[in-house]
Chains A and B, each alone.
Chain A
Amino acid sequence: MTDADPIASLMIVFYALIGGAIRVSTPFLFVALGECLTEKSGRINLGLEGNLILGAMIGYAVSYNSGSAWAGVLAAGGVGVVLGVAHGWICKLPKVNDIAVGLAFMGLGTGLAFFFGKPYIQPSAPRLTSVPLGAWSDSPQVQQALQVNPLFFIGIILAVFLWWMLRSTRWGLVIRVTGDSAASAKAMGVNVDGVRLLATAAGGCLAGIGGAFLSLSYPGSWNEGLSSGQGLMAVALVIFARWNPLRCVLAALLFGAAGALGPSLQSIGVSFGYHFFNAAPYIVTLGIMIASARSRSAAVEAPRELSIIK
């Protein structure tokens, strides 16, 4: 490839980067939207990494057994709800710390997935079919790069919906009130724990669906090294997005692009620093954590009931 026209190679890297960003960002997007919703209600669920992995495994298993990838997606969302409800219910008990519970659920979800997932590492399950957005081009690399999974579009629609819901519905305002001032919420007659339980359940559902994307679309198989901490990085992403669902989309794409940097450079034969580029998302995470810890606007927009803020 390297002896080809440099402009063409650059374009290929560019499309590979866009396509890769979309692919890599989709699970980030779902987990981040879920975490965003949960945190808006004033609770942190660090267990979404567990939801992601268990969702990936269950989604793959159900897809394999039923023959329908979409049934797998639904099942992954369902198992996410179960984990979310359990997290929300335990956090309702007095003197329970949501961060500690979240870490426990991360271990629980991962452990369950590894335990039940052993038989599904070998077989191949039906995968979600992608939408070919690259049909206009004759370049097979471009066509390959712009195979976009429908879940990505669902994620975008969901982000817009969440943004609208948090702003323009009673439910949205109640969630924000609960996340900002539990005392005010109680004075309004809102069941604070109930709202948080529902928000955690919905957030868990989204993270489970994000997991299904991992096993049913990209990389598109089930194994134990599938997630590599994406569920945790999504928490950093929510802080970076300052609890705004629309900014979650941008942040997820940025993370996705960082993750796609290594593979897309490799597609034109650049292989030096491959491991370095693969580490890019983690470096971006660190950078973002440092930058957002110093950000004053983040301090203002953070839901004030979050246990890390209080």
Chain B
Amino acid sequence: MTQAKLSDCMPQIGPHPGGAMSLETRAMTKTFGALRALDDVSLNVRAGSFHALLGENGAGKSTLVKCIMGFHAADSGATLLDGAPVAIASPRQAQMRGIGMVYQHFTLVPCLTTAENLVIARPDAPGIIYWRAELQRLEAFMDRMPFRVRLDRHVADLSAGERQKLEILKLLYLDQRVLILDEPTSVMTPSEADEVLTLLGGMAQRGEITVLMISHKFREVKAFCDSFTVLRHGRVTGSGCAQDTSIDAMSRMMIGETQLRARAPRLTGEASGTTRAAAQPRLTLDAVSADDATGRRVVDAVSLDLHAGEVVGIAGVSGNGQSALVEVLAGQRALSGGRVLAHGQPFAPRRADLDRYKVFGLPEEPLRNAVVPRMSVAENMAFRSFDKPPVAGRFGLISPARMRAVAAGLIRRYNVQTPSADAPIETLSGGNLQRAVLARELSGDVEVLIVANPCFGLDFASVAEIRAQIMEQRNRGAAVLLVSEDLDEVLELSDRVAVMSAGKLGPVVAVEATDRDRIGREMGGH
């Protein structure tokens, strides 16, 4: 356990009337049934500090801040503001005390404009709103901020990054003095993130606000935070000064003494390298376009060749059309322009073509896109094979016994932890759900594999295993399209990479010929 003295990190700031407040939790414990989500957690965020809360998914970070905000009632323990214990029973009460939070899901109201969202969030919103005067005041507020969001736009029309900025502006507009941010930069480009974090860092330094930020990104923690606390399995495993602690030390606190996983082995076969150019691509996207429900073009003339034995990674900030592209290839979204070819033949993402060209997929959010939550594990595993032998017998009749037997084999082989093959698949944990989908999609002969954010929200062990499976398919000669918001994942797995921004795909380059900075700039559309 590393326990650096927090007071070394930053100058002590005295009580600051109307400014930053300190935030503490003492011995906070919260259980959900048998799960001990928080175990005796003490957190100390000094007034005017920019504090990072680190931890893996499921480590208890969100539970901790939700207990502070009054979403959950802690079983025991206390929250202290400026050293005095406070009882907060609801987010509204937290707001009254000056604690505001930006959640991972947006709390803005899509049909309302920016201005309407800001005014109605105020506890003292007037009964009759004189828009002319309000708009003047809002303009004046925006002028004081280093970034602005158009006041007359409907929130539904804002990009995800703009919405996240607006969420933060809203807290500042409401004069909140303790800001809790739950992974605020996950939907922003690197430059947007820097802009926002620089603003908040400056305000904290001037003693105007205190910031507690949940983050996964060590780069941001090192660049902007002055102190940090790490949670693992609901306990504090370390805290200290962000500037003096190495990234290695922080990640050890996060994942414990388990071995940091090695990169999945990458074999160089005949299919890769120079011979590739001559061969027929397994999958060709030719100026593929798609629209969203409102007619906005979300995928704009994307062209790409996918060859056997390679992983092509598509990086980008969430909401730039990657999901729509995967939906087009999976047959969930209509093609509004262009065409898709498999082995040079026209390809329609229907069952017959998927079988003929051996196209498989691991879509993002498997509970929504890959399984029927209330059907059993065995039924879900049979989606690709229920109408073929051995599951289907004579006259196409499905044999539940054979379906269960096939599933039992897959469950063993892919180590899916499930009470039984008959359990509804929605009862499985995230990692096991993904393994069950993997078992269905990868157990056959795969020629084309389309993967989207395969490791989102999974723990380290599952991440390593799933990435290894994807790499194994590539090594066996499958053509893999990997769409991921996790830049590290793209860089680790891909042979060639491209960036998707505002629906357009940038140039596809070999992974050795690019680097993180260049990709980051492209993500911002530069």
Is B424's beta carbon under 8 Å from chain A?
no
Is A183's beta carbon under 8 Å from chain B?
yes
Q: Are A176 and B111 in contact (CB under 8 A)?
A: yes
Is A49's beta carbon under 8 Å from chain B?
no
Is A161's beta carbon under 8 Å from chain B?
no
**Interface pick from A71-79, A84-92, A184-192:** A184-192
Distance between Cα atoms of A303 and B112 in the complex (Å): 10
Q: Are A174 and B295 in contact (CB under 8 A)?
A: no
Interface size class of B (residues with CB under 8 A): 20 to 34
Nearest residue in B to A304 (C-beta to C-beta)? B110
Q: Are A301 and B111 in contact (CB under 8 A)?
A: yes
Could you give, for residues 158-169 of chain A, a 1 whenever the CB lies within 8 Å of some chain B CB and a 0 otherwise? 000000000111
Distance between Cα atoms of A299 and B296 in the complex (Å): 13
Nearest residue in B to A168 (C-beta to C-beta)? B129
Query: Which residues in window 148-191 of B have CB below 8 A to A?
Result: 156
Q: Are A300 and B294 in contact (CB under 8 A)?
A: yes
Q: Are A170 and B110 in contact (CB under 8 A)?
A: no
Total A residues in contact with B, Cβ cutoff 8 Å: 24
**Interface pick from B116-124, B320-328, B409-417:** B116-124
Nearest residue in A to B93 (C-beta to C-beta)? A189
Which of A183, A184, A296, A300 contacts B156, CB < 8 Å?
A300
Question: Which residues from chain B contact A300 at a C-beta distance below 8 Å?
Answer: 156, 294
Question: Which residues from chain B contact A176 at a C-beta distance below 8 Å?
Answer: 109, 111-112, 116
Is A274's beta carbon under 8 Å from chain B?
no
Q: Are B92 and A184 in contact (CB under 8 A)?
A: no
Question: Which residues from chain A contact B131 at a C-beta distance below 8 Å?
Answer: 167-168
Q: Are A177 and B112 in contact (CB under 8 A)?
A: yes
Q: Are B112 and A180 in contact (CB under 8 A)?
A: yes
Q: Are B156 and A169 in contact (CB under 8 A)?
A: no
Distance between Cα atoms of A170 and B156 in the complex (Å): 21
Contacts A170-B120, A173-B129, A299-B293: A188 and B92 contacting too (C-beta < 8 A)?
yes
Distance between Cα atoms of A36 and B129 in the complex (Å): 21
Could you give, for residues 91-103 of chain B, a 1 whenever the CB lies within 8 Å of some chain A CB and a 0 otherwise? 1100000000000
Question: Which residues from chain A contact B130 at a C-beta distance below 8 Å?
Answer: 168
Is B108's beta carbon under 8 Å from chain A?
yes
Which of A171, A180, A181, A184 contacts B127, CB < 8 Å?
A171
Q: Are B91 and A184 in contact (CB under 8 A)?
A: no
- Output the least CB separation between B416 and chain A (Å): 32
Distance between Cα atoms of A167 and B129 in the complex (Å): 8
Q: Are B127 and A177 in contact (CB under 8 A)?
A: no
Distance between Cα atoms of A155 and B290 in the complex (Å): 44
Query: Which residues in window 53-98 of B have CB below 8 A to A?
Result: 90-92
- Output the least CB separation between B227 and chain A (Å): 28
Interface centre among A171, A174, A188, A301 (most CB of B within 10 A): A188
Could you give, for residues 282-310 of chain A, a 1 whenever the CB lies within 8 Å of some chain B CB and a 0 otherwise? 00000000000000110111011000000
Distance between Cα atoms of A303 and B111 in the complex (Å): 7
Q: Are A187 and B107 in contact (CB under 8 A)?
A: yes
Could you give, for residues 289-302 of chain B, a 1 whenever the CB lies within 8 Å of some chain A CB and a 0 otherwise? 00001110000000
Q: Are B128 and A184 in contact (CB under 8 A)?
A: no
Q: Are A173 and B110 in contact (CB under 8 A)?
A: no
Q: Are A168 and B128 in contact (CB under 8 A)?
A: yes
Q: Are A173 and B127 in contact (CB under 8 A)?
A: no
Question: Which residues from chain B contact A167 at a C-beta distance below 8 Å?
Answer: 131
Contacts A168-B131, A300-B294: A173 and B112 contacting too (C-beta < 8 A)?
yes
Nearest residue in A to B96 (C-beta to C-beta)? A189
Distance between Cα atoms of A187 and B123 in the complex (Å): 11
- Output the least CB separation between A293 and chain B (Å): 12
Is B125's beta carbon under 8 Å from chain A?
yes
Question: Which residues from chain B contact A168 at a C-beta distance below 8 Å?
Answer: 128-131
Contacts A169-B128, A170-B126, A170-B129: A184 and B108 contacting too (C-beta < 8 A)?
yes
Contacts A170-B127, A296-B294: A188 and B121 contacting too (C-beta < 8 A)?
yes
Distance between Cα atoms of A184 and B314 in the complex (Å): 33
Question: Which residues from chain A contact B90 at a C-beta distance below 8 Å?
Answer: 189
- Output the least CB separation between B203 and chain A (Å): 23
Q: Are B120 and A299 in contact (CB under 8 A)?
A: no
Distance between Cα atoms of A189 and B109 in the complex (Å): 15
Q: Are A169 and B129 in contact (CB under 8 A)?
A: yes
Question: Which residues from chain B contact A183 at a C-beta distance below 8 Å?
Answer: 105, 107
Contacts A177-B112, A189-B92, A300-B294: A184 and B107 contacting too (C-beta < 8 A)?
yes
Which residues in A have some Cβ–Cβ distance to B below 8 Å? 167-171, 173-174, 176-177, 179-181, 183-184, 187-189, 296-297, 299-301, 303-304
22 pairs, A vs B, C-beta closer than 8 Å: A168-B129, A168-B131, A169-B128, A170-B127, A170-B128, A173-B112, A173-B120, A173-B125, A174-B120, A176-B111, A176-B116, A177-B112, A177-B120, A180-B110, A181-B107, A181-B109, A181-B110, A184-B107, A188-B92, A188-B120, A300-B294, A304-B111
Q: A171-B127, A176-B111 are in contact. List 16 more A-B contacts (CB 8 A).
A: A168-B129, A169-B128, A169-B129, A170-B120, A170-B125, A170-B128, A173-B120, A173-B125, A176-B112, A179-B111, A181-B110, A184-B107, A187-B91, A188-B121, A296-B295, A297-B294
Closest 8 CB pairs of A and B: A189-B92, A173-B120, A180-B111, A180-B109, A170-B125, A296-B294, A296-B295, A184-B107
